[in-house]
A and B are shown apart, each in its own frame.
Chain A
């Protein structure tokens, strides 16, 4: 006989739980449910409740009485302006991330093998290993008037091109680092990995035989992309766009460092709860991204983005 050591306490717990799947499930789910339910949803509800409170004009204290004043104030032209600017930026950043990220994700999922694949993963994730602020200020230098990008344009004798882009209204400014185009570039840079990875995962799940079947039945590459790959990658694109969309809607540091100093939602929320001490209005404003994301998801579902799930 082989000498087997007596089962330890962990083994006995495991034996005990084997016959009691409900107990096991409870044991596994209670901690995350507590976290999600109390800390996460709880603070979200507290936020929601705050949005319906007001501020005492004299004392600056929060008055715990129901009021819709914050929401009325949201409709003030200046605030609508901020919301529209932020949502437009989020939409454009998301679109750019899809356009730039899809081919990379497709290559990673379908063609890259072995070391090349590992290298691509690292290349996509590498920026996430270093501090967000370091990368942001690096971009500040890159985009500056005397920075690497204008130098490159000048060296290529394309300085005039950069000048004419910067001369455009709204997106342009006297240098890239003070332009809204610069804000856009940095947003796209920061969030691109969050778009590539989910798309890559969804494309990896498409069996190669589906693409072969499409070709076999007479579809050229473009038709296969439109009819088979895109619909099946849509859940990944939707997931990625939720990341890029909500990250853009909530960020308050990038537009502060790079851009033309116009306000984005995140900055307004930050100032209202900090300097101004108007927590209720900050809460009301932070409901805007939540509403926008909800509307976006509803629309995506209506358009069939999740049919392939």
Chain B
């Protein structure tokens, strides 16, 4: 089987007044057909540039991009079998919703009646029937998002690129759209390449995640793999909350010279057999859990209290911390930031 998208040593260098900037640095990546793949990373990490190169809006400086086995590295966007849902939706303000959705068919010369039925079908698919006559300005943000989705799907792309599509929506709507997007992807069987800086979104929706940092892919793996066994210090800290221990603290508390311990894996307990003891310096209440900062001398540990009945100890109280040895994930000592972060 050929991969839906494959990147082969792809780099993208931009010129800036302060010299060239490597936005994407020798990235190799294979996305399987039918996969929900997420590129996760902080802003400026190169994930959007990566998507733009796949879409054809930015050409790679070097390397090869193929879609469905065909080399598309130098092709313009209109010649690529992919479509994009833009971050700002990019709906045409001077056209009706129907004309927006049918745009891809219009430019390919499909007859008007057929365009109309197709557009209606797509609007129903995104659960937005009957708005065809309206203008984008008359719809809410969530509705525009759905229109953008319908418009991108009308050409039946091999791969759908989604550039932080949920970023502008409020939390409730975002969670609802996450569920719907995932369901839609399963129903259509199209490969989704999703961009986000929100780790919850990435973990909850994706089949696989690629974590970007400073223009490089730090790790590619299933959500559980990325969360439980981060390949680098950066991944450990960016995906979820993490206590990263190194030096003396790591040797005494964890064993290896650099290790990660998730806050929810630490429990409060008796003095006997405790792995560490320390003073609570701060408590934050999140509803489903409380997060404490505990000063254990060599390090500050984040500890999550997930027990609904328990009350977090007040700052200043002394607590004893327990965890299973399986909770400790060793990290490479000098990992995380290749080329050294500025």
Interface residues of chain A, those whose CB is within 8 Å of chain B, are 207, 209-210, 212-220, 223, 227-228, 231-232, 307-308
Contact = CB atoms under 8 A, between A and B. Distances in A.
B92 A216 contact: no
Interface string B306-318: 0000000000000
A220 B93 contact: no
B88 A207 contact: yes
Contact of A209 (B88, B103, B106): B88
Contacts of B94: 231-232, 307-308
21 contacts: A210-B90, A212-B57, A212-B77, A212-B84, A212-B86, A212-B90, A213-B84, A214-B107, A215-B77, A216-B78, A217-B104, A217-B155, A218-B107, A219-B78, A219-B103, A227-B107, A228-B92, A232-B93, A307-B94, A308-B93, A308-B94
A119 to B, nearest CB: 17
Most buried by B among A217, A227, A228: A217
Given A227-B107, A231-B94, A308-B93, A217 B88 contact: no
B88 A216 contact: no
Interface in B60-94: 76-78, 82-84, 86-88, 90-94
A223 B92 CA distance: 14
Contacts of A231: 94
A217 B76 contact: no
B210 interface: no
Q: Is the interface of A mostly helix, strand, loop or mixed?
A: helix
B90 A223 contact: no
Contact of B90 (A209, A220, A227, A307): A209
A217 B76 CA distance: 11
A215 B104 contact: no
Which 6 interchain pairs have the tightest Cβ spacing?
A: A209-B90, A217-B104, A213-B90, A215-B77, A219-B107, A308-B94
Nearest to A212: B57
A218 B104 contact: yes
A213 B91 CA distance: 8
B31 to A, nearest CB: 18
A218 B108 contact: yes
A219 B151 CA distance: 13
Interface in B98-113: 103-104, 106-108
A173 B282 CA distance: 91
Contacts of B151: 213, 217
B56 interface: yes
Given A216-B55, A218-B155, A228-B92, A209 B86 contact: yes
Contacts of B57: 212, 215-216
A307 B95 CA distance: 9
B84 A216 contact: yes
Interface in B103-159: 103-104, 106-108, 151-152, 155
Contacts of A210: 90, 92
A209 to B, nearest CB: 4
A22 B88 CA distance: 37
Given A209-B88, A232-B94, A308-B94, A217 B83 contact: yes
A251 B104 CA distance: 47
Given A209-B86, A212-B84, A213-B84, A220 B78 contact: yes
B93 A216 contact: no
Contacts of B152: 216-217
A188 to B, nearest CB: 29
A307 B56 CA distance: 30
A209 B55 CA distance: 12
B90 A207 contact: yes
A210 B77 CA distance: 13
